[in-house]
Amino acid sequence: MLQVAVLRQDPEAVKQKLAVKNFQPLELVDEIIQLDDQRKASQAKFDEVQSKINAASKNIGAFMAQGKKDEAEALKKEIAELKPSLEPIKAQYTAVEQELQNKLVLLPNLPQDEVPQGKSAEDNEVVRQLGDIQPPAGGGKPHWELIVDYDLVDFETGAKITGRGFPLYTGQGAKYQRALIQYFLDFNTEAGYKEFIPPFMVNEASAFATGQLPDKEGQMYHVTEDGFYLIPTAEVPVTNIYRDSIVQEAELPLKLTAYSPCFRREAGSFGKDVRGLNRVHQFEKVEIIQLTHPEKSNEAFQQMVSHVEKLLQSLELPYRILRLCGGDMSFTSAITYDFEVFSAAQQRWLEVSSVSNFETYQANRLKCRFKNESGKTQLVHTLNGSSLALPRILAALLENNQTPEGIKVPAAVQRYFGKALITK
């Protein structure tokens, strides 16, 4: 959530930033500033009346000590007349404050200067691209055929158990999935990230704190009786570890990683873009998160991008990195780099990771602060990235590594999987 002070500092600059994200209506900025003026006026009025009551109360004792009962009684009468006026002022302040907060949460995060203009994925910028994107000999099969040939994933039984978009991994498919998860976690912990196993449901406060509510309410599975939400990513519960917390400056950066299943109601359109593992309602993902000093968050962002890139390189997959344009960025992000791997059989790029810097946007909702050496508290910066999302990684690994003898397993994963080849 943006801070009102940021809006007040330069409203026109804020509007220009919001326009990069194609946000409308921009007049919301002015409405929030006006509400903040009303809030301050109400607070000043309340403080003025309270100050008069406090001064009168103090003088009553002095008059009584001097035997000036008439003056003391006059002050008591004055206090009795002033006190009833406090409640409506307080009520007005509360109402204005609530309206201000309701409008403030409608504003997305401001994009950094390097975020390009654009409305959709077609306007994203390619930062770099590495690897051979030639199809396998003979074209190769798409992963939805390979998983049948090798008995790796059973979509029909998954649909029977739950519904469409809930895959059932079987045999070597389940083992390969588990091997990749373990490899990703080990890769992260060896880089200094502390591992967690978080709850896979969160309460409303946690979902709001990281920006899922109210922006993505329709995309989340909601357990209505308990008010819980199934998590769309481990980012939500893990970042909330530090909700309502003050950490010491010396503790920063805090580097966290976690595996979790992820649940998303929105499965997208029909067709090849969502066929097989391309887009599902439940999937597995390993996440990395950092809480950093504001002056070091851009450096941390580049470190996280480099970390994910090295992980992809170890999987021997062709990939590219995109700088997302304003129109394709998330509500909460200040800057995002997407990683895409090339699907050899489908001849298309598949997104497998997003690395984002949220700056103070999440931290302001989280009320996550740090105390510097002088004792002053300020908001941390939060960042997160997929390291990695499993379904499309698995799809690309299957499609890009198919041979007449079987499907090759990357060397880095072989010790987790137990062999170098997936066979029929």
Element (H, E) at 186: helix 171-189
Reduce the secondary structure of 91-143 to three states and give it as a string. Answer: HHHHHHHHHHHHHHCCCCCCCCCCCCCCCCHHHCEEEEEECCCCCCCCCCCCH
- What three-state secondary structure class fits 317? coil
Nearest to 322 by CA among 122, 128, 133, 117: 128
Which are the contacts of 109, defined by CB distance < 8 A and separation ≥ 6?
2, 331, 332, 333, 334, 358, 359, 361
- What three-state secondary structure class fits 198? coil
Instruction: Return the number of other C-beta atoms located less than 10 Å from residue 322's C-beta.
Output: 21
- Mark the binding-site residues, compressed into ranges: 233, 264-266, 280-283, 287, 351-354, 384
User: CA 344, 345, 347, 350: dihedral to nearest 10 degrees?
Assistant: -70
- Mark the binding-site residues for ATP, compressed into ranges: 264-266, 280-283, 351-354
- Mark the binding-site residues for L-serine, compressed into ranges: 233, 264, 287, 384
Please report how many Cα atoms fall inside a 13 Å half-sphere around the Cα of residue 72, on the Cβ side.
11
